[in-house]
Amino acid sequence: MRPLTIFTALLVIAAAASARLMTKHEIRERQLEAAKRWQTSGRLAVRAAAGYAKPSGVKNITFTNPKAAGPEGSLDDLIFWTSGGPGCSSLKALLQENGPLSWSWGQAKPTVNEQSWMNLSSVLWVEQPVGTGFSQGTPNIQNEDDLAVQLIGFMQQFLDVFAELKGKKLYLTGESYAGAFVPYIANYIYENPTLLDLSLQGIWIGDLQAQIPAVDFVKKYAGLFSFNQTYMNYLEKTAAQCNYTGYVDKYVTYPPTGLLPLPGDSVDPSGSCDVWNDIYNNALIINPAFNIYHIWDTYPVLWDVLGDLGSSVQSPVYFDRKEVKEAIHAPVDTEWTECSNVHVFPNGDGSLPSAFTVLPNVIEKSKRTVIAHGLADFILIAEGARIVIQNMTLFADRKKG
Ligand SMILES: *[C@@H]1O[C@H](CO)[C@@H](O)[C@H](O)[C@H]1NC(C)=O
Ligand SMILES: *[C@@H]1O[C@H](CO)[C@@H](O)[C@H](O)[C@H]1NC(C)=O
Ligand SMILES: *[C@@H]1O[C@H](CO)[C@@H](O)[C@H](O)[C@H]1NC(C)=O
Ligand SMILES: *[C@@H]1O[C@H](CO)[C@@H](O)[C@H](O)[C@H]1NC(C)=O
Ligand SMILES: *[C@@H]1O[C@H](CO)[C@@H](O)[C@H](O)[C@H]1NC(C)=O
């Protein structure tokens, strides 16, 4: 092993040395070269980026019968995807996350997404609940159970039209606030097995706790946040007063010793124990481009074909263009925004966090459950997901309490 280690170390040094040899001028040359390539191949999109786009010849977008393109793909599976919010469109995920094309921030034109989930399975991106994206109707749901009922109604109609998908293995997936939607939808399907002619296998979500680990998160990325010592001291003091300090070290150890205490009296603290909001406000003072979904972002904010929340108002928003709507058979008179301007839960979401209620049941009934988390995400923090998982009682443990 030793010779190998030395060899690796030498390689690193060599790479560092050659990186130093590149002058600023050379770097600039390469960037100009790359920019030229974009300009010649993606002229229309570049003009759109500059804000004076003409309709750029969107051709028919055809929705064919789903086909799993990848070598590992299965035609027996159907993945349902919903974005979070609540009220954010799944078309964002289709175009910028797990769909067949990628037209992400700063990209002048779309590229093929080599990591598309469609390589493995048929995927259905649904804009829900009512009030989201192109969905039609007036929002009237009070909680996640209402949401599940409406969604299953849609799925039944969907299967009437695409009857060839009946009987497929279903996986429910989604990110962010969908950590609330997906377990409740899954639970409703498990509790009402005759409603849907699909065989639910499992769920995939990315979600969970933000407050308890927020100050730890700032300390982990201290260089990135660059807060001054006065503010860091204030955060440390607040974390201690709110009983956040040392929480993860003490409680997120395996196996768990019992239920985890909630520091304070609510999963959604207000006042000085709402450190998350305080950190966010102050991060924006130092870095006006601070992005809670992707903490390394700095100025300038990148152009986004979907007019993303985090960026300045941009147009035209791709899915809101008339010719795009016509091409995908979306209602032309519905304004599309990435995240809805109306409240999709008009009186708020009356349901408790899914981990306190239905999620344990869903995990027990599912063949597979994946709870994923991005490390560059500050809106919901990875350590928080560990806290929530740690606090769930599953299988035999439930009887012990
Ligand atoms: C779009 O599809 C329709 C129906 O198949 C066809 O008549 C039309 O020519 C197509 N338009 C373009 C621009 O391909
Ligand atoms: C996914 O499919 C695309 C398009 O067919 C292909 O270019 C890509 O290599 C595939 N990726 C994987 C991981 O199979
Ligand atoms: C852990 O679960 C219990 C029981 O559901 C709940 O009362 C408590 O608030 C939870 N703790 C955390 C940190 O969420
Ligand atoms: C923190 O824990 C102490 C000791 O258990 C308790 O007295 C205090 O009320 C807690 N603080 C908060 C904000 O919950
Ligand atoms: C330290 O940071 C805090 C929070 O951003 C700010 O309010 C305060 O003015 C800063 N103090 C100094 C001395 O820069």
- The response to whether residue 119 sits with its C-beta less than 6 Å from ligand 2 reads yes
Distance 266 CA to ligand 3 centre (A): 10
Q: Say which ligand is closest to the CA of 287.
A: 5
pLDDT category at 129 given cuts 50, 70, 90 is: very high
- The response to whether residue 284 sits with its C-beta less than 6 Å from ligand 5 reads no
Distance 41 CA to ligand 1 centre (A): 25
Residue 139 within any structural domain of the chain: yes
Residue 329 within any structural domain of the chain: yes
Bond preceding residue 193 cis, omega within 30 of 0? no
CATH code assigned at 111: 3.40.50.1820
- The response to whether residue 282 sits with its C-beta less than 6 Å from ligand 5 reads yes
Q: How far apart are CA 220 and CA 383, in angstroms?
A: 12
Residue 77 within any structural domain of the chain: yes
Q: How far apart are CA 85 and CA 129, in angstroms?
A: 10
Q: Say which ligand is closest to the CA of 72.
A: 2
Which pair of structure tokens corresponds to residue 33? Answer: 């070269």
Residue 218 within any structural domain of the chain: no
Q: How far apart are CA 2 and CA 12, in angstroms?
A: 16
Average pLDDT over the chain reads 79
Of the ranges 156-165, 222-231, 358-367, which one carries the lowest mean pLDDT score? 156-165
pLDDT category at 354 given cuts 50, 70, 90 is: confident
Q: What pLDDT score was predicted for residue 45?
A: 37
Q: Which atom of ligand 1 is nearest to the CA of 59?
A: 13
Q: What pLDDT score was predicted for residue 274?
A: 85
Residue whose structure tokens are 């229309």: 44
Residue 332 within any structural domain of the chain: yes
pTM here?
A: 0.76
Of the ranges 79-88, 91-100, 328-337, 385-394, which one carries the lowest mean pLDDT score? 385-394
Residue 163 within any structural domain of the chain: yes
Of the ranges 17-21, 188-192, 248-252, 327-331, which one carries the lowest mean pLDDT score? 17-21
Distance 210 CA to ligand 2 centre (A): 35
Q: Is the pLDDT at 399 greater than 60, yes or no?
A: no
Q: How far apart are CA 115 and CA 99, in angstroms?
A: 8
Q: What pLDDT score was predicted for residue 263?
A: 80
Residue 35 within any structural domain of the chain: yes
Domain span at residue 133 reads 22-209+316-400
**Number of structural domains in the chain:** 1
Q: Is the pLDDT at 176 greater than 80, yes or no?
A: yes
Pocket test for ligand 3, best of 208, 243, 260 (most atoms within 8 A of CB): 260
